[in-house]
């Protein structure tokens, strides 16, 4: 089950709600392949067909293009270094800075005014 996270600027300049984690349908790559480039889709399907262990989830990120907080799909191959594919973000861009688990609470600054933002879980999705 994924989390719905709300980010709020302490000055009120910016607010964003993002869905992170994974849902019940994310056990099968067919259900999330369209969130990745054509090249990444081929690699994901190959890994899944090979029987290698892998994981998938939507991680919090900051978009380098629109400067919004968003969620990006991340596919990782277990037991290998740097085998991580990052898909297209919820804002429609690639090239986002992905936050690792727990990092978002410590490092979130408002993209408009650079003040500290409050991060809170407001619900769950599946």
The answer to which of 37-41, 60-64, 76-80, 113-117 has the lowest mean pLDDT is 76-80
pTM: 0.88
The percent of residues in the chain predicted with pLDDT above 90, rounded, is: 71
Average pLDDT value over all residues in the chain? 90
Query: Whole-angstrom distance between the N-terminal and C-terminal Cα of the chain?
Result: 5
Residue 18, beta-bridge partner list: 5
Q: What is the mean pLDDT of residues 21-44?
A: 93
Q: pLDDT tens for residues 72-104?
A: 999 999 876 668 899 999 888 888 999 876 667
3-state per-residue secondary structure call for 54-105: EEEEEEEEECCCCCCEEEEEEEEECCCCCCEEECCCCCCCCCCEECCCCHHH
DSSP single-letter state for residue 28: S
Predicted local confidence at residue 81, as pLDDT: 65
Predicted local confidence at residue 22, as pLDDT: 92
HSE value, Cβ hemisphere, 13 Å, CA-based, for 13 = 12
Domain that holds residue 110: 2-125
Predicted local confidence at residue 101, as pLDDT: 64
Number of structural domains (the chain) is 1
Q: How far is CA 25 from the centre of its chain?
A: 16
Predicted local confidence at residue 66, as pLDDT: 93
């Amino acid at each position: 089950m994924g989390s719905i996270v709300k980010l709020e600027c302490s000055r009120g300049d910016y607010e964003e709600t993002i869905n992170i984690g994974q849902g019940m349908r994310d056990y099968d790559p067919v259900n999330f392949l369209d969130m990745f480039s054509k090249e990444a889709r081929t690699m994901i399907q190959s890994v899944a067909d090979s029987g290698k262990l892998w994981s998938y989830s939507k991680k919090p990120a900051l978009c380098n293009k629109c400067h919004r907080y968003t969620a990006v799909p991340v596919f990782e191959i277990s037991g290998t270094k740097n085998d991580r594919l990052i898909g297209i973000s919820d804002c429609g861009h690639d090239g986002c800075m992905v936050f690792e688990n727990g990092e978002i609470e410590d490092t979130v600054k408002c993209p408009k005014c650079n003040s500290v933002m409050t991060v809170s879980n407001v619900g769950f999705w599946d």
